Every structure is written in C-alpha cells, then in structure tokens.
Structure 1
Amino acid sequence: MTETALLAGPALRRLRKREGLTQAAMAASLGISPSYLNLIERNQRPLSARVLVQVIERYDFDPRSLREDEAIGGIDGLVRRMADKRFADLSIDREEVQEFLAAAPQAAAAFARLYDTAGEGKARADDPVGDARRAVERWQNHFADLDHSAEETADELRLSRGDTGAALMERLREKHQLSVRILPTEVMPGIVHRLDLHARQLQLSEMLPGAARRFQIARQVGALEQREQIETLVAGANLSSTDARDMFREHVTDYVAGALLMPYRRFLRACEQTGYDVNILQRRFASSFDQIAQRLTTLQRVGERGLPFFSARFGRTGRMVHFTSGASGAIHPIDGARWPAWVTYAAFENRGSLLTQSVMFGEGEAVPKHWFTIARTVEVDGVACSSRKAVVLGLEARFAGELAHARGVSLAPDDAVPLGVGCPRCGRVDCLTPASRRLAAETGP
C-alpha cells in the first residue's frame, strides 16, 4: 500500500527546536537518517505517514498543527491579501505565494495577522464590517461543525418532506416553548422579527414573504440550539470591537438557518443534478434567490466540495452592501468601485429576470480575472428602507461549463466584457457605459 505523505518541514523543525534536539538526535529517535530529516525540514522530502506516526507517538505532536494555514484562509486567503494594490508593483503570482506558505507558514501567518490588523489601510476599530468579513473569509464561509449539526437537525425533523415552516414552528413550540406570531406592519414598524421572551413568541412582520418567514424561523431554531458553537466561533475570531463581533455572530447565525433549510448533502446533490440551476433550487428548497446565492458560497466540505462561488448584493444606487467571497478567490472590491457595464446594474432594468454575463475583472492582479456572473433583483420587505436589491453570483469562468445558466453563453476570454479595476482607478476611455440590456443574456424570470 502506498503511504500518504505531505510537506511539513517548518512544523517539524519548530517541534525539534521546542524539544531542544539536534537533527541527529531527532533522526535517531524516529529511525531515519539525519540527512533525510534535513531534507524533510527543508520541504525537499515529504513527511510520510510512517514517520508522522512516530512523531506523534514520541513527541506528543498534534497533527492538526499541520493545517495551521487554514487559520489564514490557506493559499486563497494569502493570495487575496497579496492582491492588495499596495503590492501591485511586485508582481507576486499565486505560485510564489504558495512557495512562501509552504516554506514559512509562521511567517505567512504573521504577515496575514499584520495585514488584517492594518485593516487594508483602515484602523480595525473604524472598520467593523471589514473585520467581520475577513473573519468569514478566513473560514472561506464554510463552518463544518455548524453544517453537520444543522444537517442532523434537518434529518431529525424530516425537513425534506412536507411543510418545512410547519416542522420548524413545531420544533420551536415543543423544544423551546415558543410560538410564532405574524403581526401587522404598524405593530412592527421598520423591523422584520422580534423575540418576545415575556410572551414566549417569535414575532414576524406580515411584510415578510414565505421564504423569508421560513428563514427567520430556522434562524431562531439555530440560534437556540447551536448557541454554544456559535459563541465559540465568535470568541475564536478574536475581533477587537463589539460591532464586529455582533456582525460576525449575525452572519454565522444566518449560516445556520441556511444550513437547516438547505441541508448540505441534499443541496449539493441537487446542485450537481440540475447544473446549479438556481430557478430549480429555489423551488426545490422553497428558498429565495438571495438565500440560494448565499448557500452556494458555502459548499466546501472536505470530500464533498461544490463549485466555488462568490456572492454580492448591490443597492439601487450601485453601492455594494454585502460581499461573500467563499472559496472563489475573489477579492473584496475597493470602496466606491463602480462597473456600469456589469450585468448587475442592468438587472435593475429587468426586474425579476435572471441575467448572465462573462466578464474580466482587474488588471495585473494575482487573483482569477475571468468570471461568469449571474444576477437578478430581489425585493426587500418589512425594513425601514424597503427597496429593491440586485444579487450577483460569480464563478471563475473555467468552472462555468458545468452550469445550466451558462448554456449558450461564450466563455472565451476574448468575448468577456472588460470591466477594468473599478471606475475610481480605471480611467478606461472605451468603457461600455451605461449598462445596456444587450450585454446580458436573459434566461427567464
């Protein structure tokens, strides 16, 4: 049987120094030659499964430390940081970043920590939204323990059958002694949900449509039943401000709701069977477009990975109000960036229609540039500033051939719409503005 192996030189070298051993002494204890150990420490030879077992047994070594790069989002997380415009003149490519992470993971972690503390040019205390977003990016928006727990609850409640909302309401009533009450908008002005512990009620606005009501009920179930896991994640994020912690907690709680309504294995299987057809997924899981879009950014379970999407939401003025990169490798656009030629803006002229577009983002940045994007408008009801938003899904174009929505759309780079690096930095004289319906392929409501 072939042994599995991995490069783990820096971790082994740190362990040896912690134990105060020479290479010869450690090699002798592991039953290998000093020269072989030297090659392992320099990442010129892999750490085989046999040697790893010896290290664990003799030095009380925690093998989880070999995945320490996950704390900074792995290679994709480091690439996103290196793509900062302040490093543009250095021409750092993905391969060089990978070499840095493999050869000096602790130094890479130190760089990531310093970069995150700097807040991309802003003080952390002044940028709670960015702090919370970066905390999500470090996990690539996949929280495995929450997903497994939610999937177990969904199976227990048999949410794949019958009325999902009724099953979740019954869960609240039986396990938590909470009822759900729909109240008129004048009773709940400017809010969509409220937990009244005195009345033992989850109160929802009448303005919420069915999918949003189910989401809020699922959210309350998740918040109550996974409170400990949620708070552990929030504490582990080491966020410096209360606002950032609250935002991260809100995101993680929303994550649990999505995982309850769209259990991982069943959702991924449906994605693969339908070619990630969002219209079918909406109907099959009784969810809204924006709920499906957010769930698509989470499909990174080890051994059961889906396609790596990013998702963003824009207001009618063109300002981006939410961004989730997932495992896509997409970087958060700069403040004030506008791409009038992007289909996201054309979506406002095509209310309820699903539009697609192949685009080129950025120039000379160390991240994927050619994307296939899907956009449509969604209605936001029951809030103080009720308005229409545009939600966009993005996938690196080289993966888009699997998508039902990409049929009939050219994925050749030469046919992609060039969007530059955002209006404030672009200066492109041949920009395709304003956005036009002819740029988008309409695939139906």
Structure 2
Amino acid sequence: MADTNLLAGPALRRLRKREGLTQAGMASILGISPSYLNLIERNQRPLSARVLVQVIERFDFDPRSLREDDAIGGLDGLVRRMADKRFGDLGIDREEVQEFLAAAPQIAAAFARLYDTGGGERIVVEDTAAAGRRAVERWQNHFADLDHAAEDLADELRLSRGEISAALGERLREKHQLQVRILPAEVMPGQVHRLDLHARQLQLSEMLPGAARRFQIARQVGQLEMREGIETLVAGANLASADARDAFREHIADYLAGALLLPYRRFLRACETAGYDLAVLQRRFAVSFDQVAQRLTTLGRVGERGLPFFMAVIDRAGRMTSFTAGGSGAMYPLEGARWPAWVPFAAFERPGTVLTQAVTFGEGEAAARHWFTITRTVDGDGVMCAGRRAVVLGIEARFAGDLAHARGVSLDRLDAVPLGVPCGRCGRAECLTPAPARIASALPRPRSAS
C-alpha cells in the first residue's frame, strides 16, 4: 500500500491523549515502534496510509478531522489573514504560514478566530454553501441513526423493485393520509413536486421519470417519519444562518430517500457481488445513475464500510455545482478551479456513456493524490435544473483494483493524468483548449450505460 504524504502529528497526539494512552501503548495497538510514533507526532514523518487505516479501524477515528484547517479556510485562508497590513513589517511568507499551520493547527485556528472577531475589518472566510457542506462532511455523509431507521422501514414495507412506488404510496395514504397524484406540467410550472396539505396530496409533475418519482415519494416518507431525527441533526450542526440550516435539512431529506430506496446492507452486498458496477446497481434497485452515485458516498457504517467514494456534479460551463466528499478524504477544489484535462469536460461530447480516467490532484494538499474517476452525463427532469450535467464518482486508485469499471484501465500512478498542472500544449494551468482535443488519445474504451 502506497504511503500518503500527510503530516498529522498534532491530531494524532490529541487522539492519543483523549484515549489516555502513552506513546508506547498506542504504538503497540498500531503495530509500530514508539520511536516512529514519536516522529509522526512531531511531524518529522508523514502518517502513512497503512497507519492511517489502523487508526481509523482501531479507534473509530474520523479521518476528516485530519483536515483541521478547513474551518479557517485552509492555507489560503491563513495566508489572507497574515497579509494584513498590520503584519507587513514581519515579512511572513507563504512557506512560514504553511509550517505554522502544519506544526500547530489548533493555535492557527485560535489566531484565525481572534483575528476574525477582533479589531480591524472582519474577513468572511466561508459562505452558506461552504457551511452546509462542512456540516455534511463532519459526518462523512453517513448519518448512522437515520440510516438504520430507513433500513428498518424498508424491511418493514418489504420494498423491492417491483413494488416500491405502491408500497411507499400506500404508506403515505395509510399513516399520513396523503395521496400521490401525478399532475400535468402546465399545472405545476417550474415545479417537480409539491405538498398540498389542504388537498392532502403529494403532487408530482408528469415530467418526472419513474426513478425520480420514486425518489420524491421516498423523500416525503422519510421527512414525515423521521422529522425528529432530522431536526436533531440540524440543531446539532450549530449553523449560524437559516439558509445553511435549510440546505443541510434538504440534504438529509435526500439522504433518507436514498437510504429507503437502497437499504444499506442489501445495497452494500449488491455492490460487493457486482464489483460496484453502476449499470447493474441501477437495474437491480430501479434507480437512476446519480441516485446510485450519491448513495455510494454514504457507505460509512462502522463494521460494514463500503468503498470510500466522492461525488461531484459539473455543468456544461465547467462549474462544479456540488461536491460530496463522503469518506474519501477528498478536499473541495479551490473556487474557480478548472481542470480541462479531466474527463467530465469531455463527457458532454458523449452523452450517456460511462467514461473512466485515472488522475492525480490534491488542491490545498502537500502532495497530489492518485484517483480513479467514473463519469457519465445525466439529463434534467424537464422542469427544474433541466440542463445536462456530468456526474463524477471518484475513489483513491489503491481501492479501485476490483471495480468492474476499472477493468482494462491502468492504475499505475505514472499513467495517471495530472490535474491542476500546466497544459502540455500551451503551458497554462487554466488552458482553454477544448477537453476532447487534450485527452482524446487517452480516453478509455467507453462502457455502455442503461
């Protein structure tokens, strides 16, 4: 297993003290020498992938906590603060800031908090979307209690491919006195679903395809039956703005819909037997490509973990409109980042085709990481967000060897396409050369999609 280049000494030291262990005791549990652990804690050695896996499994450790600098905007956020004219005479350069952040992340966070709330103009480091995204990533997009509850409900209703809509609709009718009604598009302009409590109806647009209809019905069932659990999570996130709380609440509602349609154990078992073949999973559970992709980012149940995927959605203009890290440890790309050599930018030339690509990237990290990505375009529902978009699943290449989609693709790091580096044609990182022209020779043989 290849080593990562992650310096995480302070986080590991705090974990050891929290557990009440000596260096010798923790080293014994992790299967390393006390002297090696001492070097890791002092950031004189990186935390290897093997040791990180041991830490996660032995201490049920959340690897997202290693990204301690996210809350202050990472290295760039700290550099912006240090650029204040009040510090101008100190000559602090980016390298010094990076060393400070690596050696003492909590002290760096304390400085950032003091700076943001103290004298001088307050710097706004994050927006509502960033706050909502961090709330999701704090849980690695796995809400264990709600997931178990959704799985129990799916078992109770005996949901299967042939009867999903009927079973969920019957649940709404019997328990919540709500009827599902499909309405013409002209009756619901600009809407795909509407809850009419006066008429006691969940109204769905005729423009919604079958998988999307089932998703909306499951979403409504989840919201009604697990309202208390949803509100507990939202309250616990301590989000300052109502918009951020609403966004987090909407994400959890979508999560519950996926958990009902793709019950955890049944879905994980299908993933493992099918080699995570997305077309097979779509057919087996009667869901869409993007619904399967989103569910794959949630498989973080302790003792029953799936593979750690991230998911991104990219529009035709090349904007990343959403990003879910899941348990992958992937960091959200810098605002405005454009990677024309990445296969999603060519996917629009081959709509509905599954394309794969091995790449390296690591925005804001000490070293680029090696990823295997799977991309396919999906179309809108004809009412809202109707534009075609590219859905991307990514996983570290070291986990991708047994994936059905990785067959015939080189997972050698030397063969990966480096992203965020200058274009080979013009030497510019923000190259405007169309993606198909840049990567046509490297495109893999496409897989047919359902």
State TM-score, norm by structure 2: 0.76
Show CA shifts across 1:28-78 (max 9, x none). Answer: xxxxxxxxxxxx5654435999xxxxxxxxxxxxxxxx98975x9433x43
Determine the C-alpha separation between the residues in 2 that align with 1:431 and 1:443.
Answer: 28
2:391 alignment partner, SS class: strand
Residue 370 of structure 1 contacts residue 413 of structure 1 at CA under 8 Å; is this kept in 2? yes
Determine the C-alpha separation between the residues in 2 that align with 1:286 and 1:108.
Answer: 50
Determine the C-alpha separation between the residues in 2 that align with 1:224 and 1:374.
Answer: 34
Equivalent in the alignment of 1:414: 414
Residue 329 of structure 1 contacts residue 367 of structure 1 at CA under 8 Å; is this kept in 2? no
Tell me the amino acid that sits aligned with residue 323 of structure 1.
F
Gaps of 5+ in 2: 1-12, 30-57, 80-93
2:379 alignment partner, SS class: strand
Match of 2:95 among 89, 96, 112: 89
Q: How does 1:43-442 map to 2 (within 5 A)?
A: 43-46=23-26, 70=62, 73-75=64-66, 77-78=67-68, 84-85=75-76, 89=95, 107=106, 114=113, 123=124, 127-160=127-160, 162-362=162-362, 365-366=365-366, 369-420=369-420, 428=428, 433-436=433-436, 437-441=440-444, 442=446
Determine the C-alpha separation between the residues in 1 that align with 2:318 and 2:297.
Answer: 22
Gaps of 5+ in 1: 1-5, 13-39, 50-65, 102-106
Determine the C-alpha separation between the residues in 1 that align with 2:379 and 2:275.
Answer: 25
Tell me the amino acid that sits aligned with residue 210 of structure 1.
G
Show CA shifts across 1:131-169 (max 9, x none). Answer: 000110111100000100000000000113632111101
In the comparison of the two structures, how many residue pairs are matched? 381
Determine the C-alpha separation between the residues in 2 that align with 1:168 and 1:422.
Answer: 51
Residue 83 of structure 1 contacts residue 367 of structure 1 at CA under 8 Å; is this kept in 2? no
Determine the C-alpha separation between the residues in 1 that align with 2:313 and 2:325.
Answer: 12
Determine the C-alpha separation between the residues in 2 that align with 1:311 and 1:233.
Answer: 22
Equivalent in the alignment of 1:10: 17
Determine the C-alpha separation between the residues in 2 that align with 1:80 and 1:122.
Answer: 15
Determine the C-alpha separation between the residues in 2 that align with 1:341 and 1:237.
Answer: 37
Determine the C-alpha separation between the residues in 1 that align with 2:199 and 2:129.
Answer: 33
1:173 alignment partner, SS class: helix
Evaluate the alpha carbon distance shift between residue 7 and residue 248 of structure 1 in structure 2; reply closer, same or farther with a 3 A threshold: closer
Evaluate the alpha carbon distance shift between residue 78 and residue 427 of structure 1 in structure 2; reply closer, same or farther with a 3 A threshold: farther
Evaluate the alpha carbon distance shift between residue 136 and residue 317 of structure 1 in structure 2; reply closer, same or farther with a 3 A threshold: same
Residue 181 of structure 1 contacts residue 204 of structure 1 at CA under 8 Å; is this kept in 2? yes
Shift of 1:248: 0.3
Evaluate the alpha carbon distance shift between residue 317 and residue 89 of structure 1 in structure 2; reply closer, same or farther with a 3 A threshold: same
Tell me the amino acid that sits aligned with residue 186 of structure 1.
E
* Worse-superposed segment, 333-342 or 289-298: 333-342
Determine the C-alpha separation between the residues in 2 that align with 1:377 and 1:429.
Answer: 25
Evaluate the alpha carbon distance shift between residue 183 and residue 371 of structure 1 in structure 2; reply closer, same or farther with a 3 A threshold: same
Tell me the amino acid that sits aligned with residue 227 of structure 1.
R
Evaluate the alpha carbon distance shift between residue 440 and residue 183 of structure 1 in structure 2; reply closer, same or farther with a 3 A threshold: same
Residue 338 of structure 2 contacts residue 430 of structure 2 at CA under 8 Å; is this kept in 1? no
Residue 192 of structure 2 contacts residue 384 of structure 2 at CA under 8 Å; is this kept in 1? no
Shift of 1:370: 1.1
Shift of 1:83: 5.8
Evaluate the alpha carbon distance shift between residue 337 and residue 427 of structure 1 in structure 2; reply closer, same or farther with a 3 A threshold: farther
Shift of 1:421: 5.8
Residue 339 of structure 2 contacts residue 430 of structure 2 at CA under 8 Å; is this kept in 1? no
1:401 alignment partner, SS class: coil
Shift of 1:366: 3.5
Determine the C-alpha separation between the residues in 1 that align with 2:365 and 2:166.
Answer: 49
Evaluate the alpha carbon distance shift between residue 422 and residue 317 of structure 1 in structure 2; reply closer, same or farther with a 3 A threshold: farther
Evaluate the alpha carbon distance shift between residue 329 and residue 113 of structure 1 in structure 2; reply closer, same or farther with a 3 A threshold: farther
Determine the C-alpha separation between the residues in 1 that align with 2:222 and 2:204.
Answer: 16
Evaluate the alpha carbon distance shift between residue 192 and residue 316 of structure 1 in structure 2; reply closer, same or farther with a 3 A threshold: same
Equivalent in the alignment of 1:444: 448
Tell me the amino acid that sits aligned with residue 248 of structure 1.
F
Determine the C-alpha separation between the residues in 1 that align with 2:206 and 2:337.
Answer: 36
Evaluate the alpha carbon distance shift between residue 112 and residue 303 of structure 1 in structure 2; reply closer, same or farther with a 3 A threshold: farther
Determine the C-alpha separation between the residues in 2 that align with 1:309 and 1:188.
Answer: 36
Tell me the amino acid that sits aligned with residue 252 of structure 1.
I
**RMSD (Å) for aligned C-alpha atoms:** 3.5
Residue 189 of structure 1 contacts residue 384 of structure 1 at CA under 8 Å; is this kept in 2? no
Show CA shifts across 1:225-245 (max 9, x none). Answer: 000000000000000000000
Determine the C-alpha separation between the residues in 2 that align with 1:191 and 1:307.
Answer: 35
Tell me the amino acid that sits aligned with residue 74 of structure 1.
S
